[in-house]
Chains A and B, each alone.
Chain A
Amino acid sequence: MKKFLAVLHARNMEFLRDRSALAWNLAMPFLLVFGLAFTFSGSSKDIYKIGIVGGMEKLHNVAPALQSTQHLQFIPYDDLQAAINKVKHHQMDMLIDVGSSPKYWVNSSSPNGYLLERIVWGTAGNSFERQIVDGAEIRYVDWFLPGILGMNMMFACLFGVGFVIVRYRKNGFLKRLKATPLGAFQFLLAQLVSRLLLIMLITTIVYTGCNLFIEFNMQGSYWTLLLVTALGAMCMISIGLLIAAHTASEELAGGILNIVTWPMMLLSGAWFSLEGAQVWVQKLSLIFPLTHMISAARAIMNEGATLGQVMPHIWVLGMLSAIFIAIGAYVFKWE
Chain B
Amino acid sequence: MSPIITATALVKQYPGVRAVDGIDLAIPQGICFGLLGPNGAGKTTTIEMLEGIHPPTSGTVLYKGEPLGSRYREEVGIQFQHTALQEFLTVRETLELFERLYQKTLPIPEIIELCSLTDILERDTRKISGGQRQRLLLALALINDPDLIFLDEPTTGLDPQARRNFWDLVKLVKSRNKTIVLTTHYMEEAYALCDEIAIMDKGRIVSQGTPMQLLSDHFGDVILQIPGVDAGDKLAGCELSAVEAGDMLEIRTKRLHHTLQQLMERGVNLDRLRIRAWTLEDLFINVTGKKLAP
The A contact surface, by secondary structure, is helix
- On chain A, the residues within 8 Å of B96 by CB distance are 6
Whether A10 is near chain B, meaning CB under 8 Å from some CB there, is yes
- Nearest opposing residue in chain A for B70, CB measure: A181
CB distance from B14 to the nearest CB of A (A): 14
Check if B97 is an interface residue, CB within 8 A of chain A.
Answer: yes
Q: Contact check, B88 vs A17: say whether CB atoms are below 8 A apart.
A: yes
Please state if B78 and A179 are interface contacts (CB–CB under 8 Å). Answer: yes
A149-192 residues at the B interface, CB under 8 angstroms? 168, 171-173, 175-182
Task: Output the least CB separation between B106 and chain A (Å).
Answer: 15
B53 touches A6 (CB 8 A): no
Chain B residue at minimal CB-CB distance from A181? B73
**Residue from the list A14, A17, A180, A335 in contact with B98, Cβ < 8 A:** A180
Among B22-30, B79-87, B115-123, B190-198, the stretch that binds chain A is: B79-87
Chain B interface residue count, Cβ-Cβ cutoff 8 angstroms: 25
Q: Are B101 and A3 closer than 8 Å at their CB atoms?
A: yes
Check B73 against A175 for contact (C-beta < 8 Å).
Answer: no
B84 contact from A2, A10, A176, A182, Cβ within 8 A: A176
* Residues on the B chain within 8 Å of A260, using CB: none
- A13-53 CB mask vs B (1 if < 8 Å, else 0) is 11001100000000000000000000000000000000000
Complex CA gap A173/B80 in Å reads 10
- The reply to whether A6 and B70 form a contact with Cβ atoms under 8 Å apart is no
Interchain nearest-CB distance for B270 vs A (Å)? 54
Tell me if A18 and B74 are in contact (CB < 8 A).
no
**A193 in the interface (beta carbon within 8 A):** no
- Contact-residue bracket for chain A: 20 to 34
Given A10-B93, A10-B97, A179-B78, check contact A172 B84 (CB 8 Å). Answer: yes
User: With an 8 A cutoff between CB atoms, is B100 at the interface?
Assistant: yes
In the complex, B250 has a CB within 8 A of chain A: no
- Alpha-carbon distance A171/B101, docked complex (angstroms): 20
B51 close to A18 (CB less than 8 A): no
Determine whether A63 belongs to the interface, using a CB cutoff of 8 Å to chain B: no
- Contact (Cβ within 8 A) A181 B100: no
Q: Would A6 and B82 count as touching, CB distance under 8 A? A: no
B214 CB, min distance to chain A CBs, angstroms:
31
A13-B89, A179-B53 known; A6+B101 contact, CB < 8 A: yes
Contact with A along B126-145 (1 / 0, CB 8 A): 00000000000000100000
Q: How far is the CA of A290 from the CA of B49 in the complex (A)?
A: 44
Complex: how many Å from CA A246 to CA B127?
Answer: 30
Q: Which of A10, A168, A178 has the most CB of B within 10 A?
A: A10
A172 to B82, CA, bound (A): 7
Closest CB-CB distance, A8 to chain B, in whole Å? 10
The answer on a CB contact under 8 Å between A175 and B100 is no
Say yes or no: B87 contacts A176, CB within 8 Å: no
In the complex, are the beta carbons of B86 and A173 less than 8 A apart?
Answer: yes
A70 CA to B138 CA, complexed, in Å = 76
**Cβ–Cβ < 8 Å partners of A75 in chain B:** none
Provide the bound-state CA to CA distance between A142 and B117, in Å.
55
Closest to A178 in B: B53
Which chain B residues lie closer than 8 Å to A5 at the CB level? 100
| Complex contact A179–B89 (CB within 8 A) | no
Q: How far is the CA of A179 from the CA of B88 in the complex (A)?
A: 21
Cβ contact within 8 Å between B100 and A173: no
C-alpha spacing A175/B83, complex, angstroms? 8
* Residues B100 and A2 in contact, CB atoms below 8 Å apart: yes
Q: Does A286 contact B (CB under 8 A)?
A: no
User: For the complex, what is the distance from the CA of A176 to the CA of B97, rounded to whole Å?
Assistant: 12
When the two chains form the complex, which single residue of B73, B84, B102 contacts A171, counting CB atoms closer than 8 Å? B84
Q: Which residues of B contact A335 (CB under 8 A)?
A: 53
* Cβ-closest chain B residue relative to A180: B101
Nearest B residue to A9, CB-CB: B97
Question: What's the least CB distance linking A83 to chain B, in Å?
Answer: 52
A→B interface (CB under 8 Å): 2-3, 5-7, 9-11, 13-14, 17-18, 168, 171-173, 175-182, 335
Sort A-B residue pairs by CB-CB distance and give the 9 closest, nearest first.
A6-B100, A171-B84, A17-B88, A179-B78, A180-B101, A181-B73, A172-B83, A173-B84, A14-B88
Q: Given A6-B100, A173-B86, A176-B80, 17 other A-B contacts at CB below 8 A?
A: A5-B100, A6-B97, A9-B97, A10-B89, A13-B88, A14-B86, A14-B88, A18-B88, A168-B84, A172-B82, A173-B85, A175-B53, A179-B51, A179-B78, A179-B80, A181-B74, A182-B101
